Structure 1
Amino acid sequence: MRIEYLGHSCLYIETGDFRLLIDPFVQGNPLCPVSLEELKGRNITHVLVTHAHGDHWGNTLDFAREGAQVIGIVEITSYAAHHGARSTHGMNIGGSHPFDWGTLQLTPAWHSSSFPDGTYGGFPTGMVLTLEGKKIYHAGDTCRFREMEWIGDLGLDLAFLPIGDNFTMNADEAAKCLPMLRPRLTVPMHYNTFPVVNADPARFETEAEMLGFQVQIMSPGATLEL
């Protein structure tokens, strides 16, 4: 599979015949290296949303109204359906579901969640995707929490963790998550999009390596094969 980092917390994943977007914050994201029209041209099949804040919900409806299935906690999928999404699949914390492209499990995330119009967005989540036999954890917006040990028990090949501070944990706190999550590789995210979340990913890399964990810093537009 191919994973492209589109800045902030947005990921584009190609796996088999499927094209997934996680937290599609495209318009208004100063780090996103591609335009909304370019991403529409990729014929996105599924949009996965960790929580309802505008910098994660983003352009979900632009893809959903063209046929991409919206997946997330039930409050998010219900909102999407009410606003023109043609296909949705609602889930909840701890639940998993097999899709044509792989399996998704929702995990807790300690944060808040409301849509840009103020509508309640349900409980914020992280996500564990099982794709082509690999397990990928997208933490969403969160702080460190003890139950990450249970997520680590799933056997993570790759983890995306926020490090920008202010709205989420910082680099030092994110590094402290690694002994619980035990991923083979970690990528920092949710930083340097706006001044309030400025952070140095090299600090996270240094702290992680001192603990014995491998980090790959991805610039927006960078890809990795898994």
Structure 2
Amino acid sequence: VNCTGQALSTVPRGLPVDTGILLLNANHLASLSTTTFQHLTQLQDLDLSNNGLVSLHTRTPLHSLKELILSHNDLGALPALQGLPALTHLSVAHNSLVTLAPGSFSAVPQLKDLDLRGNQLRTLPQEIFAGLRALEDLDLSENHLEELPKELLQDLQMLQTLWLSGNRLQTLPTGFFPRGHFFMYVFLTENPWHCDCNLRYLQAWIRQN
């Protein structure tokens, strides 16, 4: 169902109960609850981008939802993700996230694609991605990250692509990349890398990979 760009301030009533894809992007949905969609038992893809969204309450489970797009909104905090057990793709790009609470993603262990680019993140908890063993793509670019914890990637056994471009990183801690892990792509450009002894680990890793 395509409801893109219709100046909606509320979700339309009477949506077909067998709706699998719902496009609500480019409207004026400032606050929403998953209760609004609870009758859509087959809903798999939900696009809420470009709405000026400031809050999303997820108390009501959406057991079939696989893709949730929240990019280009005004979220200052990541919504709780309990009740979304099937979620594999999450985009919260270009919002106003300053920090992420430990355990933010513990309820979505099937997540494969996580897009957090274009926020205002400065630091990340060491175990923020713990348990995301299915994650393949992680985008942390265009934030304000100044340092990253050594154990950040340790649980990400399936990670193929990592974006760290456009941050404020000067170095990476020794052992940051899990030993023996093969990446398809790692993007490190547009950071103020400081070329001193602390950068030896990163230089050696790049040569070896």
TM-score by length of 2: 0.36
Structure having the larger proportion of residues in helix = 1
Structure having the larger proportion of residues in strand = 1
Pair member with larger Rg: 2
TM-score by length of 1: 0.34
Q: Greater RCO between the two (CA within 8 Å, min separation 6)?
A: 1
